[in-house]
Chains A and B, each alone.
Chain A
């Protein structure tokens, strides 16, 4: 099969726009697309003739839809299975038109197509009227961020071009879209098969005075990146190919310039932009804005890694372990509560679970189905999601790209969602404390990078959690000995040691305050570059809660948790390593040291120029 489309338009391209065609199966999406090309003379030479010959050979009537349904199976079944991306130049615009499948079974393909579109043509069959997928697609468009929609009421030839039929469908669908806060730009009566109102206004619909489908495309406006929005620059990677340490990523909102002070969320580290790096340019750029993939260097060697979001001071994203969201689920298995999924938001990847299902949205009447315990494939639901550690994000209406996320089940991206609001978690107080303390922190001339180079390791907290009498304290002491023997700077800080000193003024009942104070002491010690070891035994709180509170306070210093238990437990707690103990402590200590190396906390060798896997 030869190439699909060429661009015979002789005008200089000034801009590009992605448009998706959606709607219920068999309402004529592919036919409309084929007609658009055919009637504008933008198909390659011989394309129609070739398809006509194939149809004749197979004894089928020629259909414009065959122009883009490339797969043999698609032509045989007369349906579109997967989205086709086709190029169409008209005026000074180059359109990428994405033909999405309308069959419910291929909803994930429709979503893939619509997710990259700036505008949509939604097709409704005049004879069949508004159907399931007409509504579901409308709902998904609004969730995917496609705000410009033109509705085409197709197959008007089958209803004798009757205005009352058209007006009826228009009224019904407009009312539906209004509930989603979507206002269609136009509603166009058309017949793709007969070429009515596709590229030229037709006498068959004298009562219609609006634009043709072709004209309506040029009325979609380009969504210009809003440079006045607060800056969001999610870090994609950190490169050290040469002397430069370059932070790269795509700016998702706002703009940045050389000299700007950036704060990275959720770590709260801060530094100023020293340069914007670029390849094959005369002058290095001084500023960059939303949509651009850039690389910057900082004036200070602070710890930054993939997943953090850079913003300007006092204008940063929200931070929490919990938020409410509208999620559409496309997974092969249903979305369950009490099960871990991987959440990906901008460049951050983090484990999460559904902590509440508030309602399932029925696309047909936008009504709710209450009391669901799982979200089935192709359903849309209002959920609360809880992440394992603090996450930086925005609400979708504030900043689109950092306000949406996908959920990964095993290997597959299985759902997507938009964040409606932050839910305050119990860490909120500690998080504010850490943020305010860090922003006022008086720094010495020696940064963490220099300490790490000198000591052969980065600072970290290693916490041993689990039930009593599993050998936690013993292993912690063992690990301290082995580390120090290797020349590392490790210190066992048992929480018990704070009780009669720093904690003398608080009673045993004030467990949360004891954890807070321990966390602040750990923050000080890790700032000196130490590896701090402890068990969670002395705290009268669950190990996981203690670990999370300490993590919030020492952020972004890593907290490594070692869970020890006597017997195999069915639901494993959230820990870096899990041991069935007590057993061979020497081997376990070695295993922990290997994990610390894998995590880039310990350098492979102690001494001059240690090599870090991911240092600062």
Chain B
């Protein structure tokens, strides 16, 4: 499992760079497998401590088990959990039937923007991976966002060796991506190796012949056909699969992700 240790070493280095260089730092946690591995890596990097807040942008449409799991780990691991929500949009009745892009933009992108504005974060750590989506494949480890949270992918800063973008004009912020080099299989291999608690009743087949491969909002995320009942079976299934990981995520259709991410989505 040498390759997993290499990935771990690199991610830990990135997390420590982020902690050293950003005074107001937060980490997004969606309770999915990736951001939970990221949280675990933070505990590794800081020897059991997590010295910055965990941020959850709650759309209110998450699968209920996700919220229970979030609150349980926050207690057990003594996390500083901050939950943000676009209450105005929810009060006005925003939901996916008003259009998926509209809903994602209002509850996730705008929800995140509100949280960033309120707390004034200058660095946000996210668990996005290159192999999830073709725009994420073009990300930097330290990726600047302008005053409007927008990503200028036409003019990304050079990233040389272990030297990242840690200085930036006031009003802008940096998105930090320690998991860019991890694949979906690496995530599962690592969960197994480190015995990380995950949402097993959603990610594994509970006898119904289906499981979630990627978690999001309940109305817009569908489980896939699978009989994988443990992590080993998930890894074998993925090695043989030719279906994209986010095939069950409605927001990705068409040019959805490029537009969402340009405007500040994770």
| A residues near B266, Cβ cutoff 8 Å | none
Q: Does B230 contact A (CB under 8 A)?
A: no
The interface on chain B, measured as residues whose beta carbon lies within 8 A of the other chain's beta carbons, has a size of 70
B154 touches A406 (CB 8 A): no
| A residues near B140, Cβ cutoff 8 Å | 112
Contacts between the two chains (Cβ within 8 Å), count:
198
Within 8 A of B (CB), among A8-47: 8-11, 13-16, 43-45, 47
Within 8 A of A (CB), among B151-170: 153-154, 156-165, 167-169
- The contact of A71 among B43, B46, B258, by CB within 8 Å, is B258
- The contact of B158 among A9, A14, A413, by CB within 8 Å, is A413
| Chain B residue, CB-CB nearest to A414 | B158
Q: Does B212 contact A (CB under 8 A)?
A: no
| Chain B residue, CB-CB nearest to A80 | B138
- The contact of B244 among A6, A116, A248, by CB within 8 Å, is A6
A236 touches B242 (CB 8 A): no
Q: Mark A201-231, 1 if CB is under 8 A from B, else 0.
A: 0000000000000000000000000000000
Nearest CB of A to B246, in Å: 5
Nearest CB of A to B188, in Å: 12
A280 touches B159 (CB 8 A): no
| A residues near B44, Cβ cutoff 8 Å | 278-280
B181 touches A85 (CB 8 A): yes
| Chain A residue, CB-CB nearest to B185 | A7
A3 touches B132 (CB 8 A): yes
A7→B236 CA distance, assembly (Å): 11
A71 touches B6 (CB 8 A): no
B135 touches A241 (CB 8 A): no
B131 touches A82 (CB 8 A): no
Q: Does A172 contact B (CB under 8 A)?
A: no
A16 touches B6 (CB 8 A): yes
Q: Mark A288-316, 1 if CB is under 8 A from B, else 0.
A: 00011101000000000010000000000
Given A10-B240, A71-B258, A404-B161: A2 in contact with B247 (beta carbons within 8 A): yes
Q: Does A1 contact B (CB under 8 A)?
A: yes
- The contact of A85 among B9, B137, B160, B247, by CB within 8 Å, is B137
- The contact of A81 among B49, B137, B154, B240, by CB within 8 Å, is B154
| Chain B residue, CB-CB nearest to A295 | B47
A293 touches B12 (CB 8 A): yes
| A residues near B201, Cβ cutoff 8 Å | none
Nearest CB of B to A332, in Å: 10
Within 8 A of B (CB), among A402-416: 404, 406, 408, 410-414, 416
| A residues near B48, Cβ cutoff 8 Å | 241, 279
B157 touches A3 (CB 8 A): no
A70 touches B6 (CB 8 A): no
Q: Does A485 contact B (CB under 8 A)?
A: no
Nearest CB of A to B45, in Å: 7
Nearest CB of A to B145, in Å: 13
B163 touches A9 (CB 8 A): no
Q: Does A392 contact B (CB under 8 A)?
A: no
B161 touches A4 (CB 8 A): no
| B residues near A109, Cβ cutoff 8 Å | 156, 158
B163 touches A413 (CB 8 A): yes
Q: Does B241 contact A (CB under 8 A)?
A: yes
- The contact of B137 among A84, A239, A416, by CB within 8 Å, is A84
| Chain A residue, CB-CB nearest to B239 | A10
A236→B164 CA distance, assembly (Å): 13
The interface on chain A, measured as residues whose beta carbon lies within 8 A of the other chain's beta carbons, has a size of 72
Q: Does B119 contact A (CB under 8 A)?
A: no
| Chain B residue, CB-CB nearest to A96 | B181
Nearest CB of B to A453, in Å: 24
Given A239-B46, A330-B158, A406-B160: A412 in contact with B131 (beta carbons within 8 A): no
A342→B166 CA distance, assembly (Å): 12
- The contact of B254 among A1, A292, A411, by CB within 8 Å, is A1
Within 8 A of B (CB), among A82-123: 82-87, 94, 96, 108-109, 111-112, 115-116
A72 touches B239 (CB 8 A): no
B137 touches A115 (CB 8 A): no
B185 touches A71 (CB 8 A): no
Given A3-B131, A115-B161, A280-B44: A82 in contact with B243 (beta carbons within 8 A): no
B246 touches A293 (CB 8 A): no
Q: Does A425 contact B (CB under 8 A)?
A: no
A5 touches B131 (CB 8 A): yes
- The contact of B3 among A6, A13, A246, A295, by CB within 8 Å, is A13
Nearest CB of A to B169, in Å: 6
Q: Mark B16-55, 1 if CB is under 8 A from A, else 0.
A: 1101100000000000000000000001111111010000
Given A81-B154, A250-B9, A280-B44: A2 in contact with B246 (beta carbons within 8 A): yes
A84 touches B158 (CB 8 A): no
A404→B189 CA distance, assembly (Å): 34
Instruction: Identify which of A45, A277, A280 gathers the most chain B CB atoms within 10 Å of its CB.
Output: A280
B169 touches A293 (CB 8 A): no
A156→B10 CA distance, assembly (Å): 40
| A residues near B153, Cβ cutoff 8 Å | 71, 81-82
A111→B163 CA distance, assembly (Å): 13
Q: Does B117 contact A (CB under 8 A)?
A: no
Q: Does B13 contact A (CB under 8 A)?
A: yes
Q: Does A244 contact B (CB under 8 A)?
A: yes
B46 touches A241 (CB 8 A): yes
Q: Does B118 contact A (CB under 8 A)?
A: no
11 A–B contacts, CB within 8 A, in A order? A1-B135, A1-B258, A2-B244, A2-B252, A3-B245, A14-B2, A70-B135, A82-B156, A236-B20, A344-B163, A411-B169
Q: Which residues of A contact B (CB under 8 A)?
A: 1-11, 13-16, 43-45, 47, 68, 70-73, 81-87, 94, 96, 108-109, 111-112, 115-116, 144, 236-237, 239, 241-242, 244, 246, 248, 250, 277-280, 291-293, 295, 306, 330, 342, 344, 346, 401, 404, 406, 408, 410-414, 416
Q: Which residues of B contact A (CB under 8 A)?
A: 2-3, 5-10, 12-13, 16-17, 19-20, 43-49, 51, 130-135, 137-138, 140, 153-154, 156-165, 167-169, 180-181, 183-185, 189, 194, 236, 238-247, 252, 254-258
Given contacts A81-B153, A82-B138, 7 further A-B contacts (CB under 8 A): A1-B255, A71-B138, A82-B156, A109-B156, A115-B159, A248-B45, A280-B44
